Amino acid sequence: MSQAPVVRLQNVSKRIGSRTIIDRLTLEVNPGEVFGFLGPNGSGKTTTIRMMVGLITMSGGDISIAGHSVKSAFPQAVSHVGAIVENPEMYKFLTGYQNLVHFARMNRGITKQRIDEVIELVGLQGRIHDKVKKYSLGMRQRLGVAQAILHRPSLLILDEPTNGLDPAGIRELRDYLRRLSREEGTAVFVSSHLLSEMELMCDRVAIIQKGQLIDIRSLRGETAETSQAMEEVLFEVDHPDAAIGVLEGRGAANVVEGGFTVTADRETIADLNRRLVMAGVRVYAIRTKIKSLEDQFLEVTGGETVG
């Protein structure tokens, strides 16, 4: 990605009283990127999002969106943003359609066709003229997404968007977000606890804990490229104990059920396989064990639940 980042947080802090809720957070999100914002309960995800959309002030640092400072050029900065902060609370006494008209009026150039297009996109066409008070949580979530994308923002911020969606809804949202980022170059900033969800939809994730950035990880295209990196591999073999003998101490191996695991680089793995076969060990499978994000997440945050 060669373009300038869509959003840039620089040393952003938030203090309430003597408590530091967000501590010098610095990160960037690029155009067309789906960026996950991961952290245990109370780690400051919503607080960060509130600062990004100007609902609360920053105690320090600055956030710029499409080059405009949220502090000094709020209307310009926020005109590039569509967002749902926490629950998608809409006007319950209005219909879904009236809600969309309401938010459409607040931006320039949103046509009736665009509203209809967005309704179709989120799949609400059957119920759009019902009062929102009759909507289920999932339907309100969809309406929330609809109001957020009406004006084709270059940054879409979603705070726990899968909350209340059924599996089909989650899948649709995921597909839609990926399409939006690929086809329209929209940067998507999603916060979630659902780690497995993030793995499926994000290009990168930032992990925060107690208001501090702990790590930023890329989730795409790393495993194949980094051939020099050591990987943990599982060999499925018929006689694990005999196989270990064959290795002659190349790599630290552990016997497991139906085989053994070893940490080695790509070339060594191929080498090991050749040796095993030569020694008459039957090799059924060689699998790279990729740590799930969940494992990584728990590792990084120390498995803490509320921080």
Ligand X SMILES: Nc1ncnc2c1ncn2[C@@H]1O[C@H](COP(=O)(O)OP(=O)(O)OP(=O)(O)O)[C@@H](O)[C@H]1O
Contacts with another protein by CB under 8 A lie at 47, 50, 53-57, 74-76, 78-79, 81, 83, 85-87, 89-94, 98, 101-103, 105-108, 147
Q: Are 212 and 47 in contact (CB under 8 A)?
A: no
185: exposed, middle or buried (C-beta count within 10 Å: 0-12, 13-18, 19+)? middle
CA distance 159 to 86: 5
Alpha carbons 116 and 112: distance in angstroms, whole number? 6
Q: For residue 46, state whether it binds Mg ion (rule: CB under 5 A).
A: yes
Which range touches ligand X (CB under 6 A), out of 43-51, 119-127, 139-147, 221-229?
43-51
Q: Which does 122 bind (CB under 5 to 8 A by kind): ligand X, another protein, Mg ion, none?
A: none
Q: Which one, 39 or 240, has the nearer CB to ligand X?
A: 39
Here the tokens at position 37 are 């914002």
Residue 164 lies near ligand X (rule: CB under 6 A): no
Residue 44 binding target from ligand X, another protein, Mg ion, none, CB below 5 to 8 Å by type: ligand X
Q: What angle do CA 197, 200, 201 make, to 5 degrees?
A: 90
Contact between 41 and ligand X by CB under 6 A: the answer reads yes
Alpha-carbon distances, residue 164 vs 38, 87, 127, 141 (angstroms): 18, 10, 17, 7
| Secondary structure element (H or E) that encloses residue 213, with its range | strand 212-218
- Residue among 3 and 57 whose Cβ is closer to another protein: 57
209 counts as binding Mg ion under rule CB under 5 A: no
- Which residue, 45 or 174, is less far from Mg ion as judged by CB? 45
- The pairing of strands 259-264 and 253-256 is antiparallel
**What, of Mg ion, another protein, ligand X, none, does residue 42 touch, CB below 5 to 8 Å by kind?**
ligand X
CB 56 to another protein: min, Å = 4
Residue 242: φ, ψ to 5°: -65, -40
d(CA 38, CA 41): 10
Question: Min. distance of Cβ 220 from another protein in angstroms?
Answer: 29
Measured at the CA of 22, the angle between CA 18 and CA 28, to 5 degrees, comes to 155
Q: How many residues bind ligand X (CB under 6 A)?
A: 11
Which of 94, 298 has the CB closer to another protein?
94
Q: Which residue, 18 or 113, is less far from ligand X as judged by CB?
A: 18
In whole angstroms, the minimum distance from the beta carbon of 263 to ligand X comes to 34
On whether the CB atoms of residues 43 and 307 are closer than 8 A, the answer is yes
Please identify, using beta-carbon distances, which residue of 76 and 212 lies nearer to ligand X.
212
CA gap 63, 44 in Å, rounded:
16
CB of 179 to another protein, least distance (A): 24
- Using the contact rule CB under 6 A, the part of the chain among 40-48, 161-169, 233-241, 252-260 near ligand X is 40-48
**Residues 10-29: x where in contact with ligand X by CB under 6 A, - otherwise, as a string:** ------x----x--------
Rounded to whole angstroms, the Cα distance separating 284 from 5 reads 46
Residues of this chain that bind Mg ion (CB under 5 A): 45-46
